[in-house]
Structure 1
């Protein structure tokens, strides 16, 4: 079926967004002809997009097929270490450089996200927007580029940590502490608040993975 949501997006972006929104999950096979039909584009850009995603390790080979990659325990740990460092730096720089209007956007996001409690998928999308806004408020294009790569790899996580019981409320409280520190211009506090936030998300992720392994046994 043709996907008319945004005719201006290229094949790479369309496939990446489908992985990010869990239309395609780790282990799912991606078929060139099916993707071309779904997104209403020719097979050539689909083929090029798949090659690019494979180069970025978002797709992997299973025989002759390409499947959405998954992260093992070590890769997950490495990803969260890098994410914590870069996100903390983004918060520190945002505390130094964010314009009042950018802080207001973060404040507005906090209020809007409270209405999403009970909808983990919607809150997960809102969470990405919130973090992206902090990245942009750092006013460091090279840092934003590196964080984009990190968040691209986050798409390989099969579920959102916000699905865990009690995690939604905790996330909103942590976001509020981050925004307060940025608004106060306190780089040290903003850095720590965001690192703590990532650390708690990692703990939740590890618990979810452990539960999934136990359920599969």
Structure 2
């Protein structure tokens, strides 16, 4: 079994925290597809009882990252097809969200979007990738909320944890945080301008770049498993 990632587990919501640790390890390719996850080993690695491990398995199974088989829980993982599916889903959800948000007209939430972009700028200035990722996912989450479409928001939030994990991994790929901030600010300006077509088109370009970076993360993980230079 791959070495468990360094991750501090607090006492609150242990199952969710273990799920977050395993989710990132799986997305980063630290576990191979088909690899069995052993409750006892993970409980010891994370310093928890088996209950939170089972809770984490249930969360990850709903997200499609692991599956329960007769011989135990095994990793499905994230491959190139899964990356394409996740980003095409994200594009469909956010594309509609942008159109609806723009059509609803200027809202107080638009100033919230600007605060998140300013947060990205501040994080980029000190090269704080973690803070940047938090502001980035909050920006996209806010767009979905501003759409006023409850079911769209429900689906987005179902996959938000996976999207956040992928975002952190793509930011780790030598990404220029200032350039990414500029792209978010451009998207925000188009949203505020009130024309949904260019705003949706800019979002599509934005997400396609993110998808390409995630594919590179996956390819590097695959190369590590094969023992070839990244």
Normalised TM-score (structure 1): 0.77
Conservation of the 8 A alpha-carbon contact between 1:87 and 1:135: yes
Aligned to 2:39: 31
Conservation of the 8 A alpha-carbon contact between 1:57 and 1:69: yes
Aligned to 1:175: 184
Q: How many Å apart are 1:189 and its aligned residue?
A: 1.9
Candidates 70, 74, 80, aligned match of 2:81:
74
Structure 1 residues 36-67: Cα deviation after superposition (integer angstroms, max 9, x where no partner):
99687x75565355335324423235884535
Equivalent positions of 1:127-166 (< 5 A) are: 127-154=136-163, 157=166, 160-166=169-175
Conservation of the 8 A alpha-carbon contact between 1:87 and 1:195: no
Q: How many Å apart are 1:179 and its aligned residue?
A: 0.9
State the SS of the aligned residue for 1:115. Answer: helix
Aligned to 2:219: 210
Distance verdict in 2 for CA 1:116–1:48, change over 3 Å: closer
Q: CA RMSD in A?
A: 3.5
Conservation of the 8 A alpha-carbon contact between 1:182 and 1:190: yes
Between the aligned partners of 1:211 and 1:38, the Cα distance in structure 2 is: 26
Structure 1's consecutive aligned runs of 4 or more residues displaced over 6 angstroms after TM superposition are none
The answer for unaligned runs of 5 or more in structure 1 is none
Normalised TM-score (structure 2): 0.73
Between the aligned partners of 1:30 and 1:156, the Cα distance in structure 2 is: 22
Aligned to 2:16: 13
Residues 1:114 and 2:121 are matched in the alignment: yes
Between the aligned partners of 1:62 and 1:122, the Cα distance in structure 2 is: 38
Aligned to 2:194: 185
Conservation of the 8 A alpha-carbon contact between 1:2 and 1:37: no
State the SS of the aligned residue for 2:64. Answer: coil
Distance verdict in 2 for CA 1:57–1:32, change over 3 Å: farther
Between the aligned partners of 1:182 and 1:30, the Cα distance in structure 2 is: 47
Deviates more, 1:107-116 or 1:149-158: 149-158
Between the aligned partners of 1:49 and 1:211, the Cα distance in structure 2 is: 26
Between the aligned partners of 2:210 and 2:167, the Cα distance in structure 1 is: 14
Aligned to 2:3: none
Aligned to 2:92: 85
Between the aligned partners of 2:169 and 2:56, the Cα distance in structure 1 is: 25
Larger RCO (CA under 8 A, 6+ residues apart): 1
What is the aligned length?
212
Deviates more, 1:117-126 or 1:131-140: 117-126
Aligned to 2:5: none
